[in-house]
Structure formats: C-alpha cells, structure tokens
Structure 1
Amino acid sequence: MASADERRFEVLRAIVADYVSEQEPVGSKALVDRHNLGVSSATVRNDMATLEEDGYITQPHTSAGRIPTDKGYRLFVDRLSEIKPLSTAERRAIHRFLDGASDLDDVLRRSVRLLAQLTRQVAVVQYPTLTNSTVRHVEVVPLTSARLMLVLITDTGRVDQRNVDLGDVVAEDSVALLRDQLNNALAGRKLADAAAKVSDLPEQGPPELRDVMTRVATTLVESLVEDPEDRLVLGGTANLTNNVADFPDSLREVLEALEEQVVVLKLLAAARNPGSVTVRIGEENEDAQMRSTSVVSIGYGSDDLLLGGMGVVGPTRMDYPGTIAAVRAVANYVGRILAGG
C-alpha cells in the first residue's frame, strides 16, 4: 500500500494537472470524480489540508478550491519520473522545419518560432557565443581595386562581414595570397587563439603587403573579439497575453523585463550543459519582475561543447512535462545542426 506521503503526492499531481488544464481552483470532489485516487473523498480532503498546511497548495479566496504554490510546482517537477515524449509526428515536424534552414540566423529564427508554437509560451534562443567558436574559413572578396570585404565564417555558422579600405591598389594575385595567408594562420583555431595569432600576420607576409595586411589584421580583430552583448532571438511574446489571468498584476512587468536583454541572458545562465534542463519556478527567479513566471532552459551544442542557451518563459501554471520535452527536443536538433553532428 502506498505511504501517506506518496498518496498526498498523487493528490498534488492531480491538482497540478487539473489546474494547468482548467485554469480553475480544484476542489476535492472534482479530484475524486476525475482521478482514480483509490481513496475516499474524506481522505482526499484531509490530504489537501495537509498539503496546504505544508505550503504545497493554497486557497486563492474563500470557498474556492486549491491551486499549487511555487513550492508545490517545484515538488511536482522534481518528482517527474518521465517526460512526456513528443509524438513521432511532432519529432518529424521539428526535423523537417529546422532542416530547411539556410544559415545560422534562419536556424535560430525557426527554433524560436517552433518552440513558441509547441509550448504556446515565449521562446528565447541565444546566439552561439564566440568564445566557443572556431574559425572555419576567411573569405576575401575584392569590392574595388583598393577595397576588400572580409567574411569570417565559424564552425557554428556565424558569419561576420567587414570592409577594409586598403589605401592603395592591390592586384588579384596579392588578394589570393592574402586569402591563403589568413586561412593558413586562422582556420581551425578557437577565436581567442585566432585573435592572438592575427596580430603576427603583418610581419610574416611579403614586405610589399605589410601595410595591407596591417589594415586587414586590425579590422579582423574586431570580428574575433567577443561581442560584449550576446545576441538573442525572442518569439511568441503575444502568447503571454493569452494567459492574462496568470499575471493579474505583473504582465506589464514581465513584458518589460523580456525587453531587457540582460534579464533574458540571466534566465539562460543556468543552462550550462547541453541536454540538461533547468526549471526555475516563480520566486526562484532572480529578477523580481520575473517572479510570476517559470523558466525552462537548456544549453545546446554537442556533448563537450556548449554553444549557447535556449528556453521558454511562461506562467507558473505551465505544462511542465510537455514544455521540458519540447525544449529538450528542439535543443537537441539545433545542437546537432550547428555542431555538425
């Protein structure tokens, strides 16, 4: 026979399920009618009283049923023994949708749209951080005889373009030599190592190209040094307005917080390992404006390389098993695409 603690957890699980789906406080009679708890309604009432006393559920107003508290949701999430798997059709749709992406920007835009659609919440994806990227190729494109475009391509698909005024006319064979020198020195290196290497390039080339290489190296360093502001893609903000009742006094605060990039980056900071999902519920969120929300986040990349973070922001009244499954699945596909797996 199940212990009293296990029985109460089943009552809590039923309250969470009903409140998430119905958005109404849950009473003991509804629990007995809807769920096969195997005990009398009197026992369910007693269990609910104990859960309320322990802070796992609360009564929003007199004569109402009960709703889960942040503490109740936390216990529910911590005790999830299995995550509701995505259907074969959902997995196939994710694969097809993301495989159609043309470049990094497209991959991340599609990922955000997909996550927002799957979870009906706000989705956010962080661009791959440059410190974890490797130079794949440097292309040198003549714009005029005295002006070049440098195109830096990383292994994560990030592309950065810079124009360089050379101050003098440079022949086509010199441009080819310049391209070879840059790729011999930088291709395959981490960006931090490449930034250190590029400063040596002017001394290593032929004397007649030293001035040109100095200009190129100076411009290239700007692409290799980490941008202090990580870029983010945000989508599905309108989904929050479909759940206004979940934010009776705080929807505006949440929307304002989501506009602040630093707040969103903090939300993703906990996601440090690809494949490992982090759930922050209500008061667990550091930023006061976000304490009416839950954040489900994950790192994406390969087993040994974290490229960035992604996640979902929504009310604490959230389908946690379904949201965790969607976030994990999309992160898995994005990591596979960008890490070349």
Structure 2
Amino acid sequence: LLYQPHISAGRVPSDSGYRIYVDRLMTPSETVAAEVEEVLQKQLNWSEGRLEAVLRGAAQVLSALSGYITLITMPQTATARLLHLQLVQIEPGKVMPIVVTNTYQIQSVLMDLTAATSPQDGKGQKSDLPKNPEDIDGELQILSNFLSRKLRGRSLSEISSLDWSELDREFKNYADSIKNLLAELTRRSQMPEYTRILISGLAEVLRLPEFSELQQLQTIIHLLEEEQEQLWPLIFEAPESQSNKRVKVRIGSENPLEPIRSCTLVSATYGPNSLPMGSVGLLGPTRMIYENSIALVEAAADYLSGAIGGV
C-alpha cells in the first residue's frame, strides 16, 4: 500500500493504497458539495440560452475550486429531447425542418416535398397543377404545430422508431417525407460519436509538483487538445456499461492512456431523468483530495442534470 519513488524519498501511498482509501475509508465532503452548488447557481446564467458558454463557466468554477483540470463533454445530440419543430418552405418543393432541442442545439436539413405537395384530383391521383405557395405555408404551419405537440419531450433516437402510420389522415401525403426527414436528422445527430470536451484549469495544475516536468505536461496537453476521442470514453460511459456507482474514479495505473497513468480521473455523467447526455470530470495528481474532488464532480453533475432537465 506504500512505496518509495526513489532511494532518497519517503514512502507514499501506492495506487492500490489510494484505491482502498477511496472505496473503504473516504466520505465525500457535504460542505464542498453545497459550496459548489451555491457557486454554480450564482455564476451560471442559463437565461442567455448558450449551452456551451454555460458549460465553460461551470468548468472554470470547478477548476478554480479544485485546483485541478476540469473536463466537461458537450451533450450528445441523440439523447437530446425535442422542444420545437418548425417546417419552413425555402422554395417551391423545398422545405427546411428546424429542430430545437432542450440542449439549445439546432438541427436542420433541406428536404424535397415535391411529391407531397402535388394536389390530388377527384380520383385520388396526383395532379400536374402545383399547390399555391401560400397554401403550402399554411399546411406546413399546421403540420409543424402537430409534430411539435406529438414529438415534444422525445429524444431524436426515439423519434426515428415511431410508427408514422398513426399520423392524422390530413397529413398522409407528408408521412413518408417526414419519416425520412427525421431518420436523417437522427443519423446526423449520432455523428460524430464523440462530442467536444471543454477544458479548464491547466494554469491551476502548473502549481503542482507532479506537473512540473515539461515533457509530461506536454503529453497531457496533447491528449487534452489533440486526442480527445481517446479520452472521451474514459469520462463518458454509455448507460448499458455504467456501474452502480454514480462517480467513477480511475487512479494512476487504472487509466489506460499513458499520458495520465500518473494521474487520477474523477468523472460522472449528467443528463435529465438519469439519461446520460454528457459528463463532468476532474484530472489531477493521485494524491488529490478525494473527498473534495468526488463531492465537486457529483454536485456539478447533479446541478447540470437538474438545470438541463428543467429547460
């Protein structure tokens, strides 16, 4: 549980020693958890509606309170929930659906509605006479209202699997086009697989002796800035792979990435209704103050979950 880094050094806890402390002896600080929640509520402005700015602010708060590097992943679009859908006619036969989600993200795609906007004659066959653009605008507004009411609160992944045969009869001409449209939006929302990670706190860790070696610091910075796709799976775990513990702690050699094998990574996911949408993490030395770091991460994840869920 203790080891001697070099001959002239004293004994310090090993990774396994820290693991026993975290799992069996440590209790997250309730005082720190209350403090971070209070600071986040005071300093973050959700009314501006810019999610990235809010998350960057949260990252700065955590790095200032902990003294470690803060990592916050942007939300995954596939798990975002639809707030509003508006169909806008760009030109005859061309419509752009605009989807607004609860993460303040906007998805849009240009679609062809030529077949759907050709009127039918008395025999139920397509007529060669085009619809009046104003008539189409009116139908699209009615359809937008109908779809927003039907789809509000659903994730894009849920929407793609809906039974569109349930669409009201007056919208039967649009059903196939809308189904294809939402399938395309869902496909786009799932790419890329990894969302961007917002970083804060590099200046704070420069004061720590573990980060005084230039070469080690350069490899960590390269990982954080250029190889985020490798780091992303460590701080965000899909629902089916999550353990029973809310906060994940990877200590030293438990980290599979070489640049951070001398560090500890503390992380937790955030999202409404226990649906992981993004993640919060702290990266620091293995001798970090675990009771504070775990409390900080968990409190921040809880705060973001509640704030996004209340949008």
What's the TM-score bracket when you normalise by the shorter of the two chains?
Answer: 0.7 to 0.9
The TM-score normalised by the length of structure 2 is: 0.75
Gaps of 5+ in 2: 115-131
Q: Name whichever of 137-146 and 313-322 sits farther off.
A: 137-146
Q: Among 156, 161, 174, which residue is 2:107 paired with?
A: 161
The residue type paired with residue 109 of structure 1 is R
Q: Among 262, 280, 283, which residue is 2:253 paired with?
A: 283
SS of alignment partner, residue 197 of structure 2: strand
Aligned counterpart, 1:227 = 191
Aligned residues: 282
Aligned counterpart, 2:229 = 262
Q: Distance in 1 between matches of 2:69 and 2:186?
A: 31
The TM-score normalised by the length of structure 1 is: 0.69
TM-aligned CA deviation for residue 235 of structure 1: 1.7
The residue type paired with residue 108 of structure 2 is R
SS of alignment partner, residue 267 of structure 1: helix
Gaps of 5+ in 1: 1-55
* Equivalent pair of 1:124/1:232 in contact (CA under 8 Å): no
* Equivalent pair of 2:268/2:298 in contact (CA under 8 Å): yes
Q: Distance in 2 between matches of 1:87 and 1:189?
A: 31
* Equivalent pair of 1:202/1:217 in contact (CA under 8 Å): no
TM-aligned CA deviation for residue 61 of structure 1: 3.0
The residue type paired with residue 336 of structure 1 is G
1:177 aligns with 2:124: no
TM-aligned CA deviation for residue 199 of structure 1: 6.9
Aligned counterpart, 2:290 = 320
1:111 aligns with 2:58: yes
Larger RCO: 1 or 2 (CA < 8 Å, sep 6+): 2
Q: Distance in 1 between matches of 2:71 and 2:165?
A: 39
* Equivalent pair of 1:297/1:309 in contact (CA under 8 Å): yes
| CA gap 1:261/1:314 in 2 versus in 1, 3 angstroms | same
Q: Name whichever of 90-99 and 281-290 sits farther off.
A: 90-99
Q: Per-residue displacement from partner, 1:110-137 (whole Å, max 9, x unpaired)?
A: 2222222222222122233344343332
Q: Name whichever of 164-173 and 284-293 sits farther off.
A: 164-173
Q: Per-residue displacement from partner, 1:88-122 (whole Å, max 9, x unpaired)?
A: 55432221223545333333222222222222222
Identity fraction in percent: 27
1:72 aligns with 2:17: yes
Aligned counterpart, 1:189 = 154
1:140 aligns with 2:79: no
**Counterparts in 2 of 1:1-341, with a 5 A limit?**
56-84=1-29, 85-86=31-32, 90-100=36-46, 102-103=48-49, 104-141=51-88, 148-154=95-101, 156-164=102-110, 170-171=133-134, 172-197=137-162, 210=174, 218-225=180-187, 226-236=190-200, 238-239=202-203, 242-243=206-207, 245-247=209-211, 248=213, 249-258=215-224, 259-270=226-237, 272=242, 276-302=246-272, 304-340=274-310
**Largest Rg, 1 or 2:** 1
Q: Distance in 2 between matches of 1:61 and 1:269?
A: 35
The residue type paired with residue 139 of structure 2 is S
